[in-house]
């Protein structure tokens, strides 16, 4: 009887040990999958943020270039207007028509 009980106890322990090992392996696999999924998600988020940052920089650069071009055009127009005004003032005062 003792031997039968001992064998039964050993089998139960072995079964419990196998069950515990399988549970641990399953948990480990699950943990690895969760980590891999999180890592992939983190990588995708970083890539998305990087792309967004690059687009923002490019947009800012384009905006700055347009502003500079607009300012340059405005400055040229102002210079031309002042030049025309100066020529008209000279002509009106007779400076341009004097012969030496």
What integer pLDDT is reported at residue 98 of this predicted model?
57
What's the pLDDT at 95? 67
Q: What is the predicted pLDDT for the residue at 97?
A: 58
pLDDT of residue 96: 57
pLDDT at 65: 86
3-state per-residue secondary structure call for 2-71: HHHHHHHHHHHHHHHHHHHHHHHHHHHHHHHHHHHHHHHHHHHHHHHHHHHHHHHHHHHHHHHHHHHHHH
Counting as low any pLDDT under 70, the low residues of the chain are 1, 95-100
What was the pLDDT predicted at 21?
Answer: 84
> Any idea what DSSP says for residue 82?
H
């Amino acid at each position: 009887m003792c031997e039968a009980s001992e064998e039964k106890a050993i089998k139960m322990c072995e079964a419990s040990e196998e069950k515990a090992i399988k549970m641990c392996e399953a948990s480990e696999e699950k943990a690895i999958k969760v980590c891999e999924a999180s890592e992939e998600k983190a990588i995708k988020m970083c890539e998305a943020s990087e792309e967004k940052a690059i687009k923002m920089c490019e947009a800012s650069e384009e905006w700055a270039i347009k502003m500079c071009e607009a300012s340059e055009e405005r400055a040229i127009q102002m210079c031309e207007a002042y030049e025309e005004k100066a020529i008209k003032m000279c002509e009106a005062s007779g400076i341009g028509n004097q012969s030496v």
